[in-house]
Amino acid sequence: MTASSPDRPADPSPGPVLITGASGGLGQALAAEFARRGHPLVLHCHQQVARTEHMAEQIQRAGGTAYPLSADLSDPNKLTDFITSANTLIDQSFVLLIHAAGAMHDGQSSRLNEDQWQAVIHSHLTAASALIEQLRLAPGGLVALIGSGAGQAGRVGQIAYAAAKAGLEALTQSAARPLATKGVRINTVIPGPMETIMWQALNSAAQAAILQRHALDHLCQPQQVARFIATLMEFPSATGQTFHLHSRLPAVL
């Protein structure tokens, strides 16, 4: 039977993907990768609305489907409204949720006011939990939470961020079994340092200090992270795991 035979069922079109934090360097790479693969996209942003709208327009001009959707995920009411809107924008269940959004307020806990602390915790951790609970996820689908080495080793001056990222890994392990009953997988992906605008904004001394903690002195590219997550969709046996895409090693005493 040939591929063009009418007796052979057509391959289903790729299902929809939701990307939070789509306006960032990693988010843009994720959007480009999954648009290239033919997935309809819902692209979340908070402040960079024009950038996200432009990206969605480019995808649409290329024949794809992309909906920009702005929301402050640190606000519980706006988070709920965002999820409701995402569920109604596309009349299909999502095959992939990538949570790459999150606020960052540097400082020790004693120096952060309550609003700053809550903004970090809510946008990273509370938003992830709400998305998992309320977003319409397809059986066989995947949730990919973007983690950080700060969640495992801590980070001086970023206590709220480190706590939120540690929570994402605990959420991944705790949610894996309940989601498995629905046929949905969940994993955390830790890219490590990436070649993005945020990295370029660091001075050379700060970059060197970060790379000294790694066995390899080169950075992960956002496009590589996007391809890894696309590949992870093809592993039905992997859930509740944390995947490291960097070379940071534990300190040797």
Q: So which residues are the catalytic ones? A: 161
Q: Distance (Å, rounded) from C-alpha 15 to C-alpha 142?
A: 11
- Give the β-pairing of 17-20 and 41-45: parallel
Contacts of 155 (CB under 8 A, 6+ apart): 149, 161, 162
The single residue listed with the structure tokens 């998992």 is: 132
For residues 210 and 159, the answer to whether their CB atoms sit within 8 Å is no
For residues 18 and 86, the answer to whether their CB atoms sit within 8 Å is yes
Distance of CA 93 to the CA centre of its chain: 18
Name which of 103, 37, 29, 26 is nearest 72 in CA terms.
103
